[in-house]
């Protein structure tokens, strides 16, 4: 299967779980590549939110503390910089701070913006994988480079007892 098809397959598998919900900007309304991987998901499983990345990230953490598994979607990696406090200081530190009592499981999706055939520009195409891996200690960071990785990585993200940030490549939606 191709890159985008593997993403769709993974989302459909996650959607079968009773405890998952998909949350973010353009999860229920079109506007970015990630939306095209969620179109087959029941609309009741999708929560479109305002553009408030920090609040969105914190919300997902709070939902996860009470047993929901949010699939927290940020259309571009660049936008995750808007939620660094909620991600780095809170979600990523919670197991340490609570000595393992709270282990919020948030599955985060983001995408490095495509440059071909359209170049999204310097604010929409950055790859922050290396610095974010160095900042995060409790959150797994996975770069989705090949189609065959995708489904097993989302399976692992759901089955583990911590949070995972899965980084997609916008260009691969068409190339691979």
Task: List residues near another protein by CB under 8 A.
Answer: 21, 50, 52, 54-68, 70, 85-86, 89-90, 97-99, 101-102
List, in order, residues 6 or more apart from 113 with CB less than 8 Å away: 76, 77, 78, 120, 124, 125, 126, 170
DSSP H or E run through 60? helix 53-65
Shortest spacing between CB 51 and another protein, in angstroms: 10
Shortest spacing between CB 48 and another protein, in angstroms: 12
List, in order, residues 6 or more apart from 107 with CB less than 8 Å away: 14, 69, 70, 71, 72, 154, 157, 158, 163, 164, 166
Shortest spacing between CB 29 and another protein, in angstroms: 17
Q: Which is nearer to another protein, 29 or 102 (CB)?
A: 102
Q: Which is nearer to another protein, 4 or 109 (CB)?
A: 109
Q: Which is nearer to another protein, 25 or 61 (CB)?
A: 61
- Tally of residues, the chain: 176
Q: Which of these, 134, 65, 54, 56, lies nearest to 97 by C-alpha position?
A: 65
Q: Which is nearer to another protein, 55 or 143 (CB)?
A: 55
Q: Which is nearer to another protein, 105 or 124 (CB)?
A: 105
- Distance (Å, whole) CA 12 – CA 66: 23
Shortest spacing between CB 149 and another protein, in angstroms: 29
Shortest spacing between CB 65 and another protein, in angstroms: 6
């Amino acid at each position: 299967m191709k890159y985008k098809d593997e993403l769709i397959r993974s989302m459909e598998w996650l959607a079968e779980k009773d405890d998952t919900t998909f949350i973010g900007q353009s999860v229920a309304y079109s506007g970015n590549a990630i939306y095209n991987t969620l179109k087959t998901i029941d609309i009741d499983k999708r929560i479109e939110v305002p553009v408030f990345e920090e609040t969105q990230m914190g919300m997902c953490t709070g939902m996860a503390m009470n047993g929901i598994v949010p699939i927290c979607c940020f259309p571009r990696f660049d936008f995750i910089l808007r939620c660094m406090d909620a991600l780095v200081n809170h979600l990523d530190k919670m197991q340490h701070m609570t000595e393992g009592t709270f282990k919020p499981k948030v599955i985060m999706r983001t995408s490095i913006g495509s440059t071909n055939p359209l170049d999204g520009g310097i604010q929409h195409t950055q790859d922050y994988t290396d610095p974010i891996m160095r900042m995060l200690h409790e959150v797994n960071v996975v770069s989705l480079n090949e189609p065959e990785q995708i489904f097993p990585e989302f399976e692992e993200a759901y089955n583990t007892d911590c949070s995972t940030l899965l980084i997609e490549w916008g260009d691969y939606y068409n190339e691979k």
